[in-house]
A and B are shown apart, each in its own frame.
Chain A
């Protein structure tokens, strides 16, 4: 067990270094650089001297290998430097955007679990009944709809309905206020994107719950329980659901890590000043430091979520532990 844990933890390192190398190379393969973007964004004249000056300021004239080592060394010290675009510390840029993204991610997760687990369970219990079909259809529709479309339609619906009902069009606020400052304003802003994201998230989770449940229901111990004449409800609650939830929790964990990245499009649609929007901005501006930090943050969350899941599994499943 000890050996397994050590091995598994050590495996995190090559992944992180690999991701660092990948983002480093990928960003520098994009033609042009932040100095050109910045100096020509207004369509003005770009003086080669100004570009050279900008390169020197940002350290882009240094050898690539030094830039890379700097970045990796900075990552291990948790120091991401300053954003090349705004000149502000990367940590500050991210900290300014993190609360809203986290809030939406958490709310979406809550929405997803609240909808997905009961519906997924019912769907599995009543496999191939009309309930099952309705639930699955709704779930798949959630996965099949482009999320930005859903978002745009949602805002427009709110506008049109409020216009028709109250005579003046209304939409959620567009500037973020933290929950503890003005809960109502905060919620009215966050609820729509959270539901939009949550619907999709719920759809994925619901399907997972259903198939996990179906598998568990075929296990011998359920049959045994049934044979013993235990109450069906007890079987479901005590035995089946508990065991089926393991892969579901895994999925929720991993999807949560994905969610931050998945907010990219939704945050654009609702003009939320979150990490997803910052991500697109950083890539578009070719802001190396900021993009690198954001990628590493996402990768780290993903890698550690996986690590925790794997260790949990090892702890639960002796075959892995001793295998």
Chain B
């Protein structure tokens, strides 16, 4: 059961990561189009602004993928010297702290969106982008990161209770499995 949850979470996050990648490529295309148009004496305008929004959204949604791939760097000077049980306890502790912190970030991010909604805020630019339109996906990304970290934590805790230490380490350990080289 915890294995299924973790595997599903990984699959979802992988899809999300691929979608962000598509967003990044779209942003590349947009910037290129603007450069070309400028040579022709025209401009799409707002590449700077849109790149910023893409970065904010890509960052928040990519976080959970990096979590499931064990990509968020940790220093394991003490941890690596421990027995499997000790390592797993380090991992559970670290993940608990992460889940709490990220939840706090997600909760504190909501007022930013709420304020933009309440004020009907629009960017101080030619595009007049409604800020809530870009802040909402950004906020949801952090919320998803928080949710994903709690799911991972509970699944890992269940694995520990079942005594599956190596499976736990594969799910929440310090380093991801070696990258596959094609």
Say if A and B assemble together.
no
Enumerate chain B interface residues (CB-CB to A < 8 A): none
